[in-house]
Amino acid sequence: MKKIISIAGFVAAAALIGFSLFMDLSDSVNLYLGDIELRGPLLILGIVALVIGIYSLPIDKANNKIINILFLIPVLLTFVVTVIVPFILGIFYSLTNWNGVGFTKFVGLENYVTMFQQNDYIYSFVVTFLFTVVNMICVNVVAFGLALLCSSKIKGTNVYRAVYFVPNLIGGIVLGYVWQFIFNKVFIMISPESMLSNPNSAFIAIVIVSTWQYSGYIMMIYVTGLQTIPKDVLEASGIDGASPLTTLLKIKIPMIANTFTVCIFLTLINSFKQFDLNLSITGGAPTRMLAGKAVQSTEFLALNIYNTAITKTNYAMGQTKAVIFFIVLAIVSLTQVALSKKKEVEL
Amino acid sequence: MRAERIRNNAFEIGAIIIGLVMLSPFVLVVLNMMKTSAKIVTNPIGLPDDLSQVATNFKNVITNSNFNYWNSFASSLIVTIFSLVLVTVCASMAAWVLCRNKTKWSGFIFMLLVAAMVIPFQVVMLPLLSTFRSIQDFTGIQFLQSYGGLIFAYIGFGGSMSVFILHGFVKGIPVELEEAAAIDGCSRGKTFFTVIFPLLRPVQMTILILNGIWIWNDFLLPSLMLGLNGAHKTLPVAVTSFVGSYVKQWDLILSAAFLAMIPIVILFLFAQKHIIKGMVEGSIK
């Protein structure tokens, strides 16, 4: 039985794949069903038949290896096609004059040199770093405060946790438009001009929304950390007459130092990558005059890359900026790994 | 004791006030989607006087050609569900194979998957489009402007983290279970699906939630692959496309935002414990 399925699978696969490849290589032969070209669907069917054929091969000895390969292929194939190949191509394209489709010449490091001579890019770099640090501090301070509140002895902490967590469920794009409305139509009732029309207050506006959105999530990580502190340690400090503040500073914070590391790096990386809120709240606006030139005052790096490549269709430059973006994130992540390795050794 | 009670009361009042502040943007959305555009401008925080306006606003938004609510909702649902099922099944298979085979290759593949978690989407997004276009031209399989291509990409991007989380869990499952099944005459593939796969359920829940929230809310990948004005749009893409064409029409924009938010809020009401737990566990690992 297995033998028949296997052979049928292989025959069908050979026919389907062979035929679709033949249609691909010869321009004249092509099958259509209505408007749909059948070449692609036939190829997919062929691959499915091939997998069935291999899976039901009646060999017991080699079976383990076949299963291993079949089970690895889906993740590996998609991963290589969507991450590894584009990543390698991307680094290569940053060294050429790529226009999104092809390139005509290899320019070496020219893109990198030009990039660092552009004021708007340098500005975007600085403002992103500033945002990353300010946002990291705001989110962690608020989140830790909320975590202490939510693990205190008050009633209904579960409800509060859920409520504080809600903003984090909804995508930054939709939330950003809602907040744009709040800044432009609601807050304007108490101030003469919208926060989003001034470069400095627009920056603060993004920090506010980002803290509002993200702190409930980080709070839950702190809550989980605080729950790992043994009850008897806290009781002992209470009996010894330690004030709540002393308990917090001398016991709680040192005991969850690891949680702090996790939260700080998580917020650093996510703030640096901020794109959705940036696009939907300000879209980079308003402009600021810098050395006689107008730059987008709240355009963070992710949005700068997007605008360079997609809006201004300068693909090679956008890709070059993206490579630098990657390098910065890799350095931050490696620092985190190194730090937590060092801590493990100390323990 | 009395001082403590006063402090707890103060904490409780504080917690309630913070909760109200946290929810106030949502309240403003609900209040204003029930008003006409003119009333929003004159009084954005007042109560709506004519509740039937909400039906008019919703009708305008749902039938709008840029937003096309039911189509976008269906697109988001299709993409999210298929991606989640496939990522979970494929990542479970891969994690199991990588964990049970202690060869040089499996170690290398696992390291590659883990290391790739550092790669931000921005650095691969542009070449990804051109790679997909080349494959599409060569094989005739539609990658861009299609659900299939988007789902393929989500398996690729979601796979590495999912394998990483599952790998740690598979390690804890005793190999003896599989050996016993093998002695009973169970083939290796069947052993995985009948013995191991069900045991992975708790950690698969974490992966479903983590990937689900991400895919449902993701904007950049679908906007690049499907296009802002393409035939298919997911909800975040539809909202952006709608806002782009109806600047300052806040009655309609807030109605659209409400309709985009409500599915996930309803889901959260039913499964909040699982969702919070899943998202927190996923981040720590």
Chain A, window 46-65: residues with a beta carbon less than 8 angstroms from a chain B beta carbon: 55, 63-64
Give the separation between CA A65 and CA A55, rounded to whole angstroms. 11
Positions in chain A short of pLDDT 50: none
How close B87 gets to chain A, by Cα (Å)?
A: 8
Predicted confidence at residue B44, as pLDDT, reads 87
| A165 → chain B, closest CA residue | B276
CB B278 within 8 A of CB B205: yes
* Contacts (Cβ under 8 Å, ≥6 apart) of A262: A221, B283, B284
Cross-chain residue pair B261–A174, CB shorter than 8 Å: yes
A104–B contact, CB cutoff 8 A: no
Taking CA atoms, A197 is separated from A183, A193, A301, B51, in Å, by 10, 7, 20, 33
Q: What are phi and psi of A36, to 5 degrees?
A: -85, 130
Predicted confidence at residue A31, as pLDDT, reads 67
Positions in chain B short of pLDDT 70: 1, 284-285
The β-bridge relationship of strands A32-33 and A293-296 is: unpaired
| B30 → chain A, closest CA residue | A178
Predicted confidence at residue A34, as pLDDT, reads 61
Cross-chain residue pair B122–A85, CB shorter than 8 Å: no
CATH architecture of A113-346: Orthogonal Bundle (1.10)
**Three-class secondary structure of residue A287 per DSSP:** strand
For the segment B97-120, what is each residue's pLDDT rounded down to a tens digit? 999 988 899 999 999 999 999 999
Give the separation between CA A100 and CA A310, rounded to whole angstroms. 10
Reference A234, options A220, A221, A219, A250; nearest CA is A250
* Contacts (Cβ under 8 Å, ≥6 apart) of B191: B178, B181, B182
Exposure string for B36-51, b = 16+ CB within 10 A, e = fewer: beebbeeebeeebeee
Predicted confidence at residue A115, as pLDDT, reads 92
Domain spans of chain A, in order of start:
2-58, 113-346
Predicted confidence at residue B42, as pLDDT, reads 84
Give the separation between CA A185 and CA A179, rounded to whole angstroms. 10
Predicted confidence at residue A60, as pLDDT, reads 63
Exposure string for A75-111, b = 16+ CB within 10 A, e = fewer: bbebbebbbbbbbebbbebbbbbbebeebeeebeeeb
ipTM of the complex: 0.92
User: Which residues of chain B neighbour A168 with C-beta distances below 8 Å?
Assistant: 279
pLDDT averaged over chain B? 90
Cross-chain residue pair A178–B25, CB shorter than 8 Å: yes
Predicted confidence at residue A52, as pLDDT, reads 82
Q: Which two tokens stand for residue B203?
A: 């950690």
How close B81 gets to chain A, by Cα (Å)?
A: 17
CB B126 within 8 A of CB A319: yes
Predicted confidence at residue A90, as pLDDT, reads 95
Q: Which two tokens stand for residue A149?
A: 């509140």
CB A19 within 8 A of CB A30: no
| Residue listed under structure tokens 């680094």 | A91
Taking CA atoms, A226 is separated from A343, B11, B12, B284, in Å, by 19, 18, 19, 14
Domains and CATH numbers, chain B: 2-56 (no CATH), 64-245 (1.10.3720.10)
Predicted confidence at residue B258, as pLDDT, reads 94
